């Protein structure tokens, strides 16, 4: 049984949790049922002591001399991450990226349920994506009153992102998955924003290549 959780867990530990969840899931698929922190460390390119420290923050799941029961570990990490919560999720902006996110992501696996897609372009209304009909923005109010979604995915141009976000917060949205290349300002501290700034991510590659090239040039 896991011990009680620490209350002040650093964000870097929390950010590693999805990775633990993925890795442990992979091992279980391969038929592995238990693993020492050393084994896990090797597979995840971390150190055994880091793994023990990380998992200890959440109450520790290992037993001395036995290691981790992977099925239990995965269940517990999943519980911490909330992967069974099925948070009601709506997506805004059914362009290329929005449609791909809607169809590609296995939302239920990650604790969410996609229940609505909105687009301001009326020509898209009633087009189907991921088994959902695209709705016009004018349907938002009625839909929100009835369904009370908690997560909004923003795949809209950055120029409209802040205005929409403000409106959505007022309508009860508690978390944003933000693909608009814009850093949302949210007035309530409890609103969660997870940015997926793909352009920033791509620039990190250009940075890496440019600067490794520079280093080579300097060495010559």
Residue 22 contacts its own copies per CB under 8 A = yes
H/E element holding 22? helix 11-29
| CB 66 to its own copies: min, Å | 26
Report the 10 Å Cβ neighbour count for 159: 9
Task: Report residue 106 as tokens.
Answer: 């296995």
Residue 28 contacts its own copies per CB under 8 A = no
Do 114 and 135 touch, CB atoms closer than 8 A? no
**Listed ranges 90-98, 120-128, 136-144, 162-170: which one lies at the site for its own copies (CB under 8 A):** 90-98
User: In 14-140, where do the E strands start and end?
Assistant: 34-35, 62-63, 67-69, 87-92, 112-119, 128-129, 132-136
Let me know the angle formed at the C-alpha of 53 by 51 and 55, rounded to the nearest 5 degrees. 65
CA distances for 6 relative to 53, 86, 212, angstroms: 11, 25, 40
Helix axes 11-29, 37-44, angle to 10 degrees: 100
- Which of 199, 217, 219, 220 is the binder for its own copies (CB under 8 A)? 199
Residue 207 contacts its own copies per CB under 8 A = yes
Closer CB to its own copies, residue 142 or residue 148? 148
Residue 40 contacts its own copies per CB under 8 A = no
Within 108-137, the residues that bind its own copies by CB under 8 A are 109-112
Cα(27)–Cα(17) distance, integer angstroms: 15
| CB 164 to its own copies: min, Å | 17
Q: Which residues pair with 88 in a beta bridge?
A: 113
| CB 206 to its own copies: min, Å | 3
Within 175-194, the residues that bind its own copies by CB under 8 A are 175, 177, 181, 183, 185, 190, 192, 194
Task: Report residue 173 as tokens.
Answer: 């949205």
**Listed ranges 67-75, 120-128, 138-146, 200-208: which one lies at the site for its own copies (CB under 8 A):** 200-208
Within 143-172, the residues that bind its own copies by CB under 8 A are 150-151
Residue 65 contacts its own copies per CB under 8 A = no
Cα(156)–Cα(158) distance, integer angstroms: 6
- Binding positions for its own copies, rule: CB under 8 A: 14-15, 17-19, 21-23, 44-45, 80-83, 85, 87, 95-97, 99-101, 103-107, 109-112, 150-151, 174-175, 177, 181, 183, 185, 190, 192, 194, 196-212
């Amino acid at each position: 049984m896991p011990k009680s959780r620490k209350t002040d867990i650093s964000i870097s530990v929390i950010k590693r949790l999805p990775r633990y969840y993925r890795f442990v899931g992979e091992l279980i698929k391969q038929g592995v049922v238990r693993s020492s922190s050393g084994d896990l460390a090797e597979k995840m390119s971390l150190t055994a002591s880091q793994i023990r420290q990380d998992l200890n923050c959440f109450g520790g799941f290992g037993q001395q001399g036995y290691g981790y029961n992977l099925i239990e570990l995965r269940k517990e990490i999943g519980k911490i991450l909330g992967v069974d919560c099925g948070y009601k999720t709506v997506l805004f902006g059914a362009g290329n990226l929005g449609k791909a996110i809607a169809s590609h992501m296995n939302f239920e696996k990650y604790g969410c349920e996609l229940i609505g897609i909105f687009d301001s372009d009326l020509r898209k209304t009633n087009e189907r994506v991921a088994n959902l009909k695209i709705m016009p923005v004018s349907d938002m109010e009625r839909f929100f009153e009835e369904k009370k979604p908690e997560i909004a995915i923003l795949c809209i141009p950055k120029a409209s992102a802040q205005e929409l976000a403000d409106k959505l917060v007022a309508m009860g949205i508690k978390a944003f998955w933000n693909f608009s290349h814009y850093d949302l300002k949210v007035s309530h501290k409890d609103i969660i924003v997870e940015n997926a700034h793909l352009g920033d991510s791509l620039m990190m590659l250009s940075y890496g290549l440019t600067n490794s090239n520079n280093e080579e040039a300097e060495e010559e």
